[in-house]
Structure 1
Amino acid sequence: MAGHSKWANIQHRKGAQDKKRAAAFAKLSKEITIAAKLGGGDIEGNPRLRLAVKNARAESMPKDNIQRAIDKGAGGDSGDYFDIRYEGFGPGGVGVIVECSTDNKNRTAGDVRSTFGKNGGNLGETGSVSFGFDQVGEIVFERAVGDEESVMEAAIEAGATDVEVEEEVYVIYTERDDFMEVAGNLDAAFPDHEAKSTKLVWKPQNYIEIDGDPALTLIKLIDALEDLDDVQNVYHSGDISEEALEAAE
């Protein structure tokens, strides 16, 4: 169940810069508010809210911020939000999937389309990219959770489908429908360690190697998309060279 992972590559700059911390908190707060609005403020009775709060805690979001976001959604103080997925292409034919939560579909569509156009990409039709991805559960733990053998054994027993070993983290994958069950089993297996992130993701079936100027353009596109207020997650199929990642920092 081991292999070379692209997790750090795909997550190339998330959390790497202090200036992005506030933006990350804003996205996490938004997801908590939307989850509370759609399913109520009871964390145990609302799976989406439970996951949102879990991820916020993993990012060390203050408890007061989390509670305010829950109260805002449960109290009906937020607008009506819609989850929308956009698909497009970056330099070198790299597939890009953009997940948004918005209260204004026209604004979001315009912003996403413009961002693709200004950063070397182009927006495609729904389904033009996602057929090359699998939607799976992804649970990430710091390496401190245990040695490779014990983590892989725990993952297998929990019902995971794959484990990829990174320098600093373990990335555990699950079938989409088994995601919540496996996440709960892993929480029980590692009671002293909070998962770094727990979410459904779009995992590329194949990666496209990209280097030089096209790689830098792709990084610029991803960063620009992530900076949009309505964007919650961005996934892509680019295997960006280490040189390009270092040059972009």
Structure 2
Amino acid sequence: MKLALITFLAGLLFAGGLAVYTKEDIVKDYGKMFTAKVAATGEQKVVKKSLKKLPDTHFLAELVNTNPRMVAYLAENATAIDETKLNELTADPAALDKFYVEALKKDSTFTNVFVELVAHYLASKKSEIKGVTLEKDTVTLDQLTGIASKFFHADAVRPDGNIGWKIGSGITGMAEMQEVKHPIAEAFCYTAVVENYPKAATGIQNDFNTGAAQVQGEQKVVAGSVADTTLVAVRKGVNAYMAKSESLKKVLQAEYDKKKAFLNFVVQ
């Protein structure tokens, strides 16, 4: 029993009843949270990254298990992992997973962002990460809606000549997002869009359908013969339309109210 207690408290300090963790406590447990597996797409093997469910006793269980899309978004889009190396390891699943987890541990970009999210979460639970100073940015609801609008993405001209849309696609690499660098806000918006778009009652899907039809009409889109230049114009037009969507704003405000305790920004 004594040994179990010592193990439980390893890396954990107490200051006046406040649980104090270290950055190392978080990083060393990446293998308990993140994994990369080999998936088959036809005859091709591809890398599939995903989250593991943490045991309820883990100090980050509530954050990770109830916000998997946010955490997974950061692990996918706030990293600088060598994707080529990952793809080279598809013949050895064990080596692939090990390389991925170790790469995350070495990725200062990801760790800085993830630790910031964790720090705000722990603060909401009256705990802290040693040496991490908490600050919250101020964003407007219009700014959040602008970020969220980019997840309604006219992705490509399909082989049949029509526009292929992606709702909730990752925004890394989108030229229109290069000036927006707030990964946690992006992850929050991504999650809000993906989880609420299918719900007819939110009105988001209706706004998107209306906006897409309106913009394609303005651009004189002809089914079966969409040009790449038209695709870009439609993409920007629908993004602008959704940035003004009152339904999207209401959803973002409601989701923010649920999660504001552990977010690193304040909406004004």
Sort the TM-score into its range (normalised by shorter chain): under 0.3
TM-score normalised to the size of structure 2? 0.22
Between the two structures, name the one with larger relative contact order (CA 8 Å, sep ≥ 6).
Answer: 1
Bigger fraction of residues in helix? 2
